[in-house]
Amino acid sequence: MARVHNFSAGPSTLPVPVLEQIRDEIVEFRGMGMSLIEASHRSKEYDAIHCETIALIKELLSIPDNYSILLLGGGATLQFGMVPMNFLREDAGCDFINSGAWAVKALKDAKKVGPVTVIWDGESSRYTTLPTPDSLPISSKSSYLHMTSNETIGGIQWHDWPDGKKLPICIDMSSDIMSRPIPVENFALIYAGAQKNLGPAGVTVVIIRDDMLDRCPSNLPEYLSYKTHATGNSLYNTPPVFSIYAMNLVLHWIKKNGGIEAVERANEEKAQVLYDAIDSSDVYYRCPVDPAVRSRMNIVFRLPTEELEAKFLTEATAAGLNGLPGHRSVGGCRASLYNAMPISGVRALAAFMAEFAQANPA
Ligand SMILES: *Cc1c(COP(=O)(O)O)cnc(C)c1O
């Protein structure tokens, strides 16, 4: 059996050593006489994995002590609703940066909870660019500002951050968490579904500054309040045990490979290889986004015609390069280069692109 290069946007490729360790441990976990996923989530074996996972996130992202790290269910999508339910005050409203498809979804849920002001809107540019942090009209009167660090579908990513001094910033980092160091102290709340850079689907990481917990309304259903999970160390109910265990192994893998700085260097190199393949193709391949905000995680590109795109995608799949179609809402091609994608996969794609362009002139 040969594994293909999997460029899928999510769920996405995982490190092979992690998959192998799961295979080896899934039936009988480290002398426990059963699988970890058969054991109580109150067992000492699970508790050790749970606490170590939280500690690894804290260590790898250099999270200050005044933040809590929560492991929740419901995907990043549940956070679209939980953030406003916990923090959106009717009298103050919240501010939004509308950067693309994921921001639009978060915005839709926030609007159901209270007033939203879009302080920057990328729709007129078809979500191909982002503002500079300094240019944002941030108002200290608002409950919070919501932003999206990396637009997985549009292929744009923030490379500079607003500082969060004027008002709390809540940020969706689902598709680039753990891909580079981040200034955690700029943010009041960070959330990310696991299935891009951290492991399989099923667990969502929430990093919340402790002063925000005082704002959680007491009349929320228990599961929907951040305070419940912070107080109970994310063991208020049964956590997604398998996903947390797999994430634990991914975090160990990151640490073993040199931590977050090494991951960032590798991601920069991978993105460079692919953007070079696009830019050096004499406009055969085109990346439609503003070069200043190109994503290192999700690289979108077009070919001269849709017919050539269809042929490209078919032949790429046949060559073991999977998951390259762009999102159904935008078409074209997209290569997701998450942490677990090796540089060899990116080089194979770049070589295939050069050969294809040569064999199929526009
Ligand atoms: C994938 C993704 C989501 C949705 O995550 P789910 O876990 O499927 O709810 C939200 N935001 C961004 C930026 C994403 O990439």
- If you write DSSP's letter for every residue of 114-132 in order, what string do you get? S-EEEEEE-GGGTT-----
User: Is the C-beta atom of 75 inside 6 A of ligand 1?
Assistant: yes
Q: Are residues 93 and 164 in the same domain?
A: yes
In the reported structure, the alpha carbon of residue 107 is separated from the centroid of ligand 1 by a whole-number distance in angstroms of 13
Q: Work out the average pLDDT over 8-33.
A: 98
Compute CA 152 distance to the chain's CA centroid, rounded to the nearest angstrom.
Answer: 8
Q: How many domains does the chain have?
A: 2
pLDDT of residue 139: 85
Tell whether ligand 1 has an atom less than 6 A from the beta carbon of residue 298: no
CATH assignment at residue 312: 3.90.1150.10
| Percent of the chain surpassing pLDDT 90 | 98
How much is the pLDDT for 285?
Answer: 98
Phi, psi angles (nearest 5°) of residue 190: -120, 135
Location of structure tokens 């002139």: 361
Catalytic residue, from 109, 176, 196, 227: name it.
196
Backbone angles phi, psi at 54, to 5 degrees: -65, -40
Q: What amino acid is encoded at 85 in this protein?
A: M
- Residues 92 and 174 placed together within one structural domain of the fold: yes
| Ligand 1 and 109: CB distance under 6 A | no
**Please, what is the angle between helix 44-60 and helix 241-256, to 10°?**
40
The residues, any chain, with a CB within 8 Å of residue 298's CB and separated by 6 or more, are 9, 150, 151, 152, 153, 155, 175, 334, 335, 336, 337
Chain centroid, CA 227 distance in Å? 23
The Cα 64–Cα 307 span in angstroms is 51
Q: What percent of the chain has pLDDT over 70?
A: 100
Mean pLDDT, residues 89-95: 97
Let me know whether 155 and 113 are in one domain.
Answer: yes
Q: How long is the chain?
A: 362
Q: Indicate whether 207 and 318 sit together in one domain.
A: no
Q: Residue 103: what pLDDT?
A: 98
Contact 102, 126 (CB under 8 A): no
d(CA 223, CA 163): 30
- Tell which of 229, 256, 283 closes a domain: 256
Q: Is residue 125 predicted with pLDDT exceeding 80?
A: yes
In this prediction, residues 208-222 reach a mean pLDDT of 98
Structure tokens at 2: 């040969």
Q: Is 4 domain-assigned?
A: no
Residue 11 inside a domain? The answer is no
Residue nearest to atom 14 of ligand 1 (CA): 174
Compute the mean pLDDT over every residue in the chain, rounded to the nearest whole number.
97
Do 68 and 210 form a contact (C-beta atoms < 8 A)? Answer: yes
**10 CB under 6 A from ligand 1?**
yes
Answer whether residue 1 shows pLDDT above 70: no
On whether the CB atoms of residues 260 and 181 are closer than 8 A, the answer is: yes
Scanning the chain, the segments in alpha helix (DSSP H) are 16-25, 44-60, 75-87, 101-113, 226-231, 241-256, 259-279, 306-318, 343-359
Residues 252 and 264 in one domain: no
Residue with tokens 């259903």: 221
Q: Does 127 share its domain with 206?
A: yes
Tokens of 300: 């979108």
With a cut of 70, say whether residue 68 has pLDDT above it. Answer: yes
Percent helix, strand, coil in the chain, to 5, is 40, 15, 45
172 labelled catalytic: yes
Q: Is 166 a catalytic residue?
A: no
Task: With beta carbons less than 8 A apart as the criterion, state whether 264 and 56 touch.
Answer: no
Omega before 361 within 30 of 0, i.e. cis: no
If one counts every other C-beta atom within 10 angstroms of the C-beta of residue 114, the result is: 17
Q: Are residues 236 and 160 in the same domain?
A: yes
Q: What distance in Å separates the CA atoms of residue 155 and residue 336, rounded to the nearest whole number?
A: 9
Q: Are strands 321-322 and 5-6 parallel, antiparallel or unpaired?
A: parallel
The residue whose CA is least distant from atom 2 of ligand 1 is: 174
269 and 346 part of one domain: yes
CA 209 from chain center: how many Å? 19
Tell me the per-residue pLDDT of 126-152, one tens digit each, with 9 for 90 and over: 999 999 999 999 989 999 999 999 999
Taking CA atoms only, the protein residue closest to ligand 1 atom 7 is 75
Instruction: Identify which of 96, 174, 334 to mutate to test ligand 1's pocket (most ligand atoms within 8 A of the CB).
Output: 174
Mean local confidence (pLDDT), 23-30: 98
Distance of CA 225 to the CA centre of its chain: 22
Query: Is the same domain home to 35 and 175?
Result: yes
Nearest atom in ligand 1 to the alpha carbon of residue 153 is 15
Asked which of 256, 279, 302 is the last residue of a domain, the reply is 256
Compute φ and ψ for 93, nearest 5 degrees.
70, -175
pTM above 0.95, yes or no: yes
Same domain for 210 and 185 = yes
Helices 343-359 and 259-279 sit at what angle, rounded to 10 degrees?
0
Measuring from atom 13 of ligand 1, which residue has the nearest CA? 174
> Is residue 172 in contact with ligand 1, taking CB distance under 6 Å?
yes
Q: 100 CB less than 6 Å from ligand 1?
A: no
175 CB within 6 A, ligand 1: yes
pLDDT at residue number 214: 97
How many angstroms separate the CA atoms of 342 and 3, rounded? 13
Q: Which domain holds residue 104?
A: 16-256
Q: Is 102 a catalytic residue?
A: yes
| Co-location of 200 and 315 in the same domain | no
Q: Which two tokens stand for residue 6?
A: 């999997």
Pocket test for ligand 1, best of 8, 148, 175, 295 (most atoms within 8 A of CB): 175
The per-residue pLDDT for range 271-306, each reduced to its tens digit, is: 999 999 999 998 999 999 999 999 999 999 999 999
